[in-house]
Amino acid sequence: MAVCLVTGGAGFVGSHLVDALLMRGHQVRVLDNFSTGNLANLAGAWDQIELISGDLLDLELVREAMQGVELVFHQAGLASVPRSLADPPSTHHSCATGTLHVLMAARDAQVRRLIYAGSSSAYGNSALLPQREADPTQPLSPYAVAKFAGEQYCAAFTHIYGLETVRLRNFNVFGPRQSAGGPYAAVVPLFLEAMLAGRSPVIYGDGLQSRDFTYVDNVVQANLLAAEAPRVAGMFYNVAFGRSTSLLDLLDTINELLGTHLKPIYNSPRPGDVRHSHADISRAQIDLGYCPSIDLKQGLRLCIDSLLREREPSKSKNGVSKQRMPAPHRRPPVVSARAGATGTQRENVFGT
């Protein structure tokens, strides 16, 4: 089995990928700075992984994390259009410069293949639907530009240095562990959090904008296939379910699943948001064998079940209801990064 590095492995998609790799018997190393990742996402894997706490902007740390690695799943990055509008430099450093560092370290460590988490935002407001890989790109936000720059770096490193890279353009991923907290949360967790609490969700615009919502297990499947498929080095693929859904239809589906009749609160459209998103996934189906198995309604049901389990109280010995707490796990060794300019030495930190 392979030694795999998952950047952003404590994040939403990254942690699901960690679980899948461990189930297949791989040795997994995670590199995450926990700016958006959550250690709780790795609770079930603490005794099976090596966890490195640090930032992709620390090139020497990335080089150390890359030692002995065969496969890299590059999931790290600040994944938010609104956040990129508020703070373009942070998004650029995280998504573009961070990707360059990962590629440099992977090249020097002679990694077999790197799978890059790209974004459907590269297509912008394309008039061509469904969106195909051959369509022109027109990124509209700093986030879209930075993620597309990462794609181009991958292509260049394959062409110039022979490093095998496969780029996956993810379309509106959703699923358990996706945070609804903070001002930059995605639409599905925001809708679910509000509607489970009996509140009307907020829609920016008229609600007719559409997205190709993709359940996280489908994205994990695409990553695993891209890591092993022959003759795909240098290629890029749409990863989606292949069906477009408006935000109003998303609202109706959640109402149906919850048995509610909530109406939306409308707000002004947000700058940088695309109008429609709908992927043609035929290239990934042919080249990778990709076959998304969980559609929007099934995925929403799984998300709701997961959220309800998290909130479900359990009984204590004296019969008093109490909030269920995560089962204790032994934490893995966490390697603390140097604090950049301070020059603080790295150390192994063990917890129980």
Residues recognised as catalytic: 143
Q: Which of 8, 7, 14, 16 is nearest to 306 (CA)?
A: 16
How many beta carbons lie within 10 A of that of residue 79, not counting itself? Answer: 25
Beta strands per DSSP E along the chain = 3-7, 27-32, 49-53, 71-74, 113-119, 165-170, 173-174, 202-204, 210-211, 214-215, 236-239, 245-246, 265-267, 313-315, 321-323, 334-336, 347-349
Provide CB contacts within 8 A for 74, sequence distance 6+.
7, 8, 99, 102, 114, 115, 116, 117
Q: Peptide bond before 130: cis, by omega within 30 degrees of 0?
A: yes
Beta strands per DSSP E along 69-227 = 71-74, 113-119, 165-170, 173-174, 202-204, 210-211, 214-215
Main-chain phi, psi angles of 82, to 5 degrees: -60, -40
Both tokens of residue 330? 């032994």
Beta strands per DSSP E along 191-316 = 202-204, 210-211, 214-215, 236-239, 245-246, 265-267, 313-315
17-38 CB burial, b ≥16 within 10 A, e <16:
bbbbbbeeebbbbbbbbeebbb
